[in-house]
Amino acid sequence: MLTIKNLTVAINGNQILKNFNLDIKAGEIHAIMGPNGTGKSTLAATLAGREEYEVISGEITYKGKNLLELAPDERAREGVFLAFQYPVEIPGVSVTNFMKAAVNAKRKHLGLEAMDAKSFLKLMKEKMELVEIKKEMMSRSLNEGFSGGEKKRNEIFQMAMLEPSLCILDETDSGLDIDALRIVAEGVNKLRSPDRSFIVITHYQRLLNYIVPDVVHVMFGGRIVKSGGKELALKLEEKGYDWIKDEVGELV
Amino acid sequence: MGLKEKIAEEYTAQNTDRKSDSPISKKREEAYQHFTKLGLPSNRHEEWRYTHIRNKLPESLSLLRYPIPSSPTFHSFDSLKAHRVVLVNGIFDAALSSINEQKGLTITSLKEAFETKQEIVEKHFGELVKLNEEHFAALNTAFATDGVFIHLEKNIEATLPILIVNLSDNKGESFSQSRNLIVLEQGSSAYVVEDFQNSATAAFVNHVSEIFLAPAASINLTQLQTETRHTTAVYTTEVELLRDSQFTCTCVSLEGKLIRNNVNARMRGENAEAHLFGLYYGTEDSLIDNHLLIDHIVPNCQSTQLYKGILDDESTGVFNGKVFVQPDAQKTNAFQSSKVLLLSDNAAINSKPQLEIFADDVKCSHGAAIGQLNKNELFYFLARGIEPAQARALLTYAFANDVLDKIKLEELRVYVEEKLKSRLNITF
């Protein structure tokens, strides 16, 4: 699904990712953990194609294509989905109209006709139930005045609507109470499938109680310094990151 | 012969067969005398500094009446339940108009009102326009022969909205000087739509509306310039507000070669409210100029100016928002906001908030912002697969949306929303 080789990325001239490597197969869930400022969100933004992030070297292959050659909107239509850490508030654009534009952009890309109003509403209703979103939210302005939990649920709802192949969850759990966390995680679990992969970026192990990863990576200093099974997350929760720092320190 | 000489000749020609002793004729003569002194404004005039209207007026233009086409085509808002008044090149068209009967409500052509409603007309006609300052209002007053007259008696609520379609239509150029006179007696209320349309190859429109609001009267006015390509226009709205009256005006300018909107509201009675909302969208080399004035003369009044501009291509916007708070106008609450979205490097805005406050116990705030589309917002759209052009269009639409929300007549709001969507090439 996704292969990242020797990726080095800078923002404002500062290298954040340094010779980063990652390989994700279809259907896998990879958790990426690590302290603040180690490049987790930079990875997410680079995959989504934010222009402020400058790729200095390395390659990203997504479904056999060179991802770096695609514009952000092309990547999205090809099935890359970023669930934002801070979903943007857009006054004046309703959730419904936003999704209509997104769904139809993807359908156009696939050579399909725009969805008729009835089927679209049916699809919305179905996906809203997945993350327990109330109908009233659909006519509200996108994320405007939404609570933290509503914003994150809305991200997962959009993910469900667009049926991506590669889902990147950038700290989707941050700022969520336990009920919201459970709803979001259950939504994600319902979207698991053999041809859909996930990158789950998080600080905390508790999300991984609900979304059980195949692989856990620890990032430090712009690259992955340790990988393991789900038990690695538990160890991090228990012992913190210092022991990793010590290990890495020895390596450096 | 220059335009000014031509105007002189035509004024004489128009007035040879008129009785000169009536108050209306005297008002016209007074206006004409002011106009001969003022002439047409050059850009040396402060109020016209950025709006070079003189070069936009062809010298061949005749101010006398253009032939009225027999079956003009225009958008007639069929789904809207309303009194319909149609003016073609400034002249009331009875065949195209349909006015329902309502007791206490008069809607006629101004021409007819000069004869049948003489007393009310003579009392109000030309009383609000500043003939010694406003070039175009003086010119309009000197030549005004027709337009719409609306009168509501005490405590009458117009049950249907009043739609005035002001159409310029001619095979070649069209010129019109329409004049509306709206008088709302105590406690009455109305929803009025002034819709300007142009199907001529080139049109010049010099329109004036005078609106009198007696105590506790209220008017909601929507002004549309959405079908006004190839139009050079000066639209002047003069409002007098007495105690407890309310004036809400939403002006949407989506098309036009050169559009100048003057909206002047004078607060002459306590507890009056004036709320001015506007949206303008310039493309190609169009110029859209909004000159607003709210004059707080007495205490305890409220006012709003909320204007949003979208400027693309080589278009130019002008915003001049005057808020005067006179020494007696304590406890005034005035708010002004002008926001402009520049979509092109070649678009320009000349923005001038002008607050002159001579009272000390008042609440006045103003803000002016000029910017571009927000990169974070844009990226959010791209990250969902929406193409950049469509993403920009949707965000631009979103920027305009809160002004469109001020149009309380739903059919009308939907019409304007669809217009703006199509102008922005939004595809759903």
Picking from A50, A88, A105, the nearest residue to B386 by CB comes out as A105
Instruction: Give the C-alpha separation, B186 to B188, whole Å.
Output: 6
Instruction: Check CB contact of B380 with chain A, cutoff 8 Å.
Output: yes
Picking from A88, A92, A162, the nearest residue to B385 by CB comes out as A162
Which residue in chain A is spatially nearest to B401 when comparing CA positions? A92
How many domains are contained in chain A?
A: 1
Q: Considering the entire predicted model, what is its pTM?
A: 0.91
Instruction: Give the C-alpha separation, B418 to A132, whole Å.
Output: 32
Instruction: Give the C-alpha separation, A92 to B421, whole Å.
Output: 13
Residues of chain A contacting residue B382, judged by C-beta atoms under 8 Å apart: 49, 71-73, 76
Instruction: Give the C-alpha separation, B146 to A128, whole Å.
Output: 58
> Does B377 sit within 8 Å of A76, measured CB to CB?
no
pLDDT one-digit tens code per residue, B257-315: 999 999 999 999 999 999 999 999 999 999 999 999 999 999 999 999 999 999 999 99
> Does B388 sit within 8 Å of A101, measured CB to CB?
no
The angle subtended at Cα B396 by Cα B416 and Cα B80, nearest 5°, is: 10
Helix then strand then coil, in percent of chain A rounded to 5, is 40, 30, 30
pLDDT in the model for residue B96: 94
Q: What is the DSSP string of A189-238?
A: HHH-BTTBEEEEE-S-THHHHHS--SEEEEEETTEEEEEE-HHHHHHHHH
The enclosing domain of A205 has a CATH number of 3.40.50.300
Q: Which residues of A touch B (CB under 8 A)?
A: 48-50, 71-73, 76-77, 81-82, 84, 87-88, 90-93, 97-98, 100-102, 104-106, 109, 114, 141, 158, 162
Instruction: Give the C-alpha separation, A104 to A208, whole Å.
Output: 33
Measure CA of the first residue to CA of the last residue in chain A; give whole Å: 31
CA diameter of chain A: 61
Cβ-proximal residues to B131 (8 Å cutoff; 6+ apart), any chain: B30, B31, B34, B137, B138, B141
ipTM of this predicted structure: 0.95
Which residue in chain B is spatially nearest to A101 when comparing CA positions? B386
How close A91 gets to chain B, by Cα (Å)?
6
Output the tens digit of pLDDT for each of chain A's 252 residues: 999 999 999 999 899 999 999 999 999 999 999 888 899 999 999 999 999 999 999 999 999 999 999 999 999 999 999 999 999 999 989 999 999 999 999 999 999 999 999 999 999 999 999 888 888 888 899 999 998 889 999 999 999 999 999 999 999 988 888 888 998 899 899 999 999 999 999 988 888 989 999 999 999 889 999 899 988 888 888 888 888 877 776 554
Instruction: Check CB contact of B17 with chain A, cutoff 8 Å.
Output: no
Burial label, A227 (beta-carbon count in 10 A; 0-12, 13-18, 19+): middle
Instruction: Give the C-alpha separation, A101 to A109, whole Å.
Output: 12
Instruction: Check CB contact of B389 with chain A, cutoff 8 Å.
Output: no
What is the number of residues in chain A?
252
3-state secondary structure of B3: helix
User: What stretches of A44-146 adopt beta strand conformation (E)?
Assistant: 54-62, 65-66, 80-83, 90-94, 141-142
Instruction: Check CB contact of B428 with chain A, cutoff 8 Å.
Output: yes
Picking from A50, A106, A141, the nearest residue to B385 by CB comes out as A106
The neighbour count for residue B399, using CB atoms within 10 Å, is 23
Cβ-proximal residues to A210 (8 Å cutoff; 6+ apart), any chain: A181, A182, A185, A186, A189
> Does A49 sit within 8 Å of B398, measured CB to CB?
no
The tokens of B162 are what? 């009043």
Instruction: Tell me which residue range forms the domain holding A185.
Output: 2-251
> Does B399 sit within 8 Å of A73, measured CB to CB?
no
How close B408 gets to chain A, by Cα (Å)?
17
| % of chain B residues with pLDDT over 90 | 81
3-state secondary structure of A184: helix
Whether the Cβ atoms of residue B406 and residue B250 lie closer than 8 Å to each other: yes
pLDDT in the model for residue A166: 97
Instruction: Give the C-alpha separation, B259 to B311, whole Å.
Output: 14
Average pLDDT over residues B206-224: 98
